[in-house]
Amino acid sequence: MSRIAYVNGRYLPARSATVHIEDRGYQFSDGVYEVCEVRGGAIVDQQRHMARLERSLAELRIRMPMSAGALAVVMRECVRRNRVREGIIYLQITRGVARRDHAFPPAGTAPSVVVTARTLDFAGNERTAAEGIAVVTVPDNRWERVDIKSISLLPNVLAKQAAREQGAKEAWFVDRDGHVTEGSSSNAWIVTKDGKVVTRPADRGILRGITRTVLLDVIKAQGLELEERAFTAEEAYGAREAFVTSASQIVMPVVRIDDRPVGNGAPGLVATTLRAEFHRHAELS
């Protein structure tokens, strides 16, 4: 079955789906994106993702190309046409097509919209979660507005590649003060020796992950103590547990950081429990 992509009003076979060479996403990374999990054919936490999308667009002064309702129809249609049961939807909106000039294009330039949906290896992800992943730390050399889900991801690309080359699955960015900000495509968490769950406050230093937001409810429901504060790589080395969160991985246990085992080197009880409980708190649509 050939994959189907939505591009500016049309559903096309992915192999022939194209955008203009002067699309500002291609020329300047001038756009935003969202990734939603698909579970049992339903879209997970779509409303929260749409709210974050609208915020990202507003911060960059890109107009919403269609109503949130119309966008929801397109997303649903992409899931249906690609027969995705367990997977992800990718949605990208750029400032549109215009002759290359750094300043904004003429008013009225239509934003470009691309939506794709694909199946993920659900069983493979479960196996990875049962084993846990390794992370490495890298300096956080990103711009200050990482709270915007911009498609401008070069530092994240380089960080992820650095992780891969060191046999790890994720890179944790560390700021100038030695504090972990977040992963290259995930939020970062630790569990202290006395069982407190710690993650950085969602200020401008990180992306406010939708998975992170839902997990705060799960943590509360589990009666766990939460501390929203920055933590250092040193503290993470000595933590009882560590994990990352994102729409495509939900809660993924971290068992090694910079080649040091976390806790006993196996996924911990808190991370495993939060992963198992997550979908009881997420919204399906």
Binding positions for ligand PLP, 6-35, rule CB under 6 A? 35
Whether the Cβ atoms of residue 226 and residue 219 lie closer than 8 Å to each other: yes
Contact range with ligand PLP by CB under 6 A, out of 61-69, 163-171, 210-218, 275-283? 210-218
On whether the CB atoms of residues 212 and 232 are closer than 8 A, the answer is no
* Interface stretch with ligand PLP, choices 13-21, 75-83, 116-124, 208-216 (CB under 6 A): 208-216
> Minimum Å distance from CB 192 to ligand PLP?
21
Pick between residue 24 and residue 212 the one whose CB is nearest to ligand PLP: 212
Q: Which is nearer to ligand PLP, 35 or 158 (CB)?
A: 35
Smaller CB distance to ligand PLP: residue 96 or 169? Answer: 169
Is residue 210 at the binding interface for ligand PLP, with CB under 6 A as the rule? Answer: yes
Three state DSSP letters for the chain: CCCEEEECCEEEEHHHCCCCCCEHHHHHCCEEEEEEEEECCEEECHHHHHHHHHHHHHHHCCCCCCCHHHHHHHHHHHHHHCCCCCEEEEEEEECCECCCCCCCCCCCCCCEEEEEEEECCHHHHHHHHHHCEEEEEEECCCCCCCCCCECCCHHHHHHHHHHHHCCCCEEEEECCCCEEEEECCCEEEEECCCCCEEECCCCCCCCCCHHHHHHHHHHHHCCCCEEECCCEHHHHHCCCEEEEEECCCEEEEEEEECCEECCCCCCCHHHHHHHHHHHHCCCEC
How many residues touch ligand PLP (CB under 6 A)?
Answer: 13
Residue in 23, 170, 182, 241 binding ligand PLP, rule: CB under 6 A: 182
- Give the phi and the psi of residue 20 in degrees, each rounded to 5: -65, 145
**51 vs 130, beta carbon nearer ligand PLP:** 51
Binding status of residue 187 toward ligand PLP by CB under 6 A: yes
Residue 34: CB minimum distance to ligand PLP, A: 8
The single residue among 132, 245, 252, 255 that binds ligand PLP, judged by CB under 6 A, is 245
Contact string 133-172 vs ligand PLP (x = CB under 6 A): ----------------------------------------
211 in contact with ligand PLP (CB under 6 A): yes
Q: Is 186 in the site for ligand PLP (CB under 6 A)?
A: yes
Using CB under 6 A, pick the residue from 43, 115, 174, 207 that binds ligand PLP. Answer: 207
State which of residues 246, 268, 270, 274 lies at the interface with ligand PLP (CB under 6 A).
246
Beta carbon nearer to ligand PLP, 62 or 215: 215
The catalytic residues are: 149
Nearer Cβ to ligand PLP, position 18 or 285?
A: 285
User: Do residues 11 and 5 lie in contact, with contact meaning Cβ atoms separated by under 8 Å?
Assistant: yes
Which residue type sits at 242?
Answer: A
Burial class (CB in 10 A: 0-12, 13-18, 19+), 212: buried
Q: Which residues bind ligand PLP (CB under 6 A)?
A: 35, 182, 185-187, 207, 209-212, 245-247
